[in-house]
């Protein structure tokens, strides 16, 4: 037998629910194959009371890290050995990395967004309005603040969630933050330079509209949406019609996967491989 055969794969995991429709598995394995890595991305669904055992199993079996998604992003923290800076601020983990024998929790949601954002604008000094205060909004708010955004206006229906995120940014980062309860059609403040939809409105529905006064969208605004499917949301179409620069959610999800790939393998994934894989999935090829 030739000596370069290796039948012992390196493994990474994904913990969550409803993983059969999660395209990250395909994106990762396409990238492993592209880079000639004998690695596997294995998804595990289990009941929430089994989380401690599942993390212990990953340690025993020598997994190099993994992802975790809803409902484990917060619950996994108490089973890890440490957290990266932004994961600690967000109190949420979506990526676990084995570093010097320790399982460290990171959060790549906001980092993926920021990488996309930097392709069109510099975040430092920006005045941002963020629609939503859930997990994605929290991640984006923290990364924009750490990257030097001047201010964040958090607009959310649920005041408790909105105020909690506003306090997190105001108290623990250098950015200014204020909360606006979302009641009726929201008109974007003329002082805002960047508008981000981080709500789930638009997910799987190209016609779903966020409750926004569209005539408040000025041509000099940068409008970003986190929705992956479909990438061209009603908000982004309306913004483009008004001359705004737009940023879709595809870049965010692909960048997150690329960042995680780099954390685990130490290799920078070639741009395009994961995006092509995701596009294949979205187009049902
Ligand atoms: N592109 C990417 O890489 C990426 C990454 C992560 C998530 N996402 C997407 O981001 C979206 C949000 O995910 P998440 O994890 O943040 O969910 P989440 O924690 O459940 O938060 C949902 C947010 O959407 C708001 N919302 C829901 N329906 C609304 C409506 N009709 N009008 C106004 N606000 C509404 C909620 O407001 P209340 O608090 O008032 O209920 C909350 O702020 C999902 O579509 C997800 O697929 C994309």
Domains of the chain (ranges plus CATH)? 10-107+252-282 (3.40.50.10860), 110-248 (3.40.50.720)
Catalytic residue among 50, 73, 111, 126: 73
Which is nearest to 282 in space by CA: 12, 26, 13, 19? 26
- Give CA–CA dist 40/53, Å, rounded: 21
Looking at residue 43, its pLDDT comes to 97
- Give CA–CA dist 218/232, Å, rounded: 19
Looking at residue 235, its pLDDT comes to 98
Looking at residue 1, its pLDDT comes to 64
Is the four-CA dihedral 101, 103, 104, 107 of positive or negative sign?
A: positive
| Segment-wise mean pLDDT, segments of 10 residues, the chain, 285 residues | 82 96 94 97 97 98 96 95 94 96 96 96 98 94 97 98 97 97 97 97 94 97 95 97 97 95 96 93 81
pTM beyond 0.75: yes
Looking at residue 6, its pLDDT comes to 87
**40 beta partners:** 11
Q: Does residue 265's CB lie within 6 angstroms of at least one atom of ligand 1?
A: no
Q: Does residue 156's CB lie within 6 angstroms of at least one atom of ligand 1?
A: yes
Residue 229 alpha carbon to ligand 1 centre in Å: 13
Q: Does residue 239's CB lie within 6 angstroms of at least one atom of ligand 1?
A: no
Q: Does residue 140's CB lie within 6 angstroms of at least one atom of ligand 1?
A: no
- Give CA–CA dist 167/240, Å, rounded: 32
Candidate from 115, 136, 152, 228 with most ligand 1 atoms within 8 A of CB, to mutate: 136
Looking at residue 62, its pLDDT comes to 97
Residue 33 alpha carbon to ligand 1 centre in Å: 32
Residue 18 alpha carbon to ligand 1 centre in Å: 17
């Amino acid at each position: 037998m030739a000596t370069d055969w290796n039948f012992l794969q390196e493994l990474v995991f994904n913990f969550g629910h409803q993983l059969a429709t999660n395209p990250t598995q395909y994106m990762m394995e396409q990238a492993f194959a592209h880079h000639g890595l004998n690695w596997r991305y294995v998804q595990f669904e289990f009941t929430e009371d089994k989380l401690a055992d599942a993390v212990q199993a990953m340690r025993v079996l020598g997994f190099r890290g993994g992802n975790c998604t809803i409902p484990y992003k917060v619950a996994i923290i108490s089973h890890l050995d440490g957290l990266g800076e932004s994961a600690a601020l967000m109190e949420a983990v979506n990526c676990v990395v084995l570093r010097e024998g320790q399982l460290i929790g990171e959060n790549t949601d906001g980092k993926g967004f920021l990488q996309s954002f930097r392709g069109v604008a510099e975040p430092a000094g920006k005045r941002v309005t963020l629609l939503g205060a859930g997990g994605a909004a929290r991640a984006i708010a923290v990364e924009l603040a750490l990257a030097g955004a001047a201010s964040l206006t958090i607009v959310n229906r649920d005041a408790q969630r909105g105020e909690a995120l506003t306090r997190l940014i105001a108290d623990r980062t250098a950015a200014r933050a204020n909360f606006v309860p979302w009641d009726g059609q929201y008109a974007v403040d003329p002082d805002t330079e960047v508008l981000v939809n981080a709500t789930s409105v638009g997910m799987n529905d190209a016609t779903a509209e966020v409750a926004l006064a569209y005539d408040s969208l000025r041509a000099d605004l940068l409008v970003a949406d986190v929705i992956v499917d479909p990438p061209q949301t009603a908000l982004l179409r309306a913004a483009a019609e008004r001359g705004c620069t737009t940023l879709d959610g595809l870049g965010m999800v692909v960048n997150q996967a690329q960042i995680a790939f780099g954390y685990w393998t130490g290799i920078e994934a070639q741009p395009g491989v994961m995006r092509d894989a995701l596009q294949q999935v979205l187009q049902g090829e």
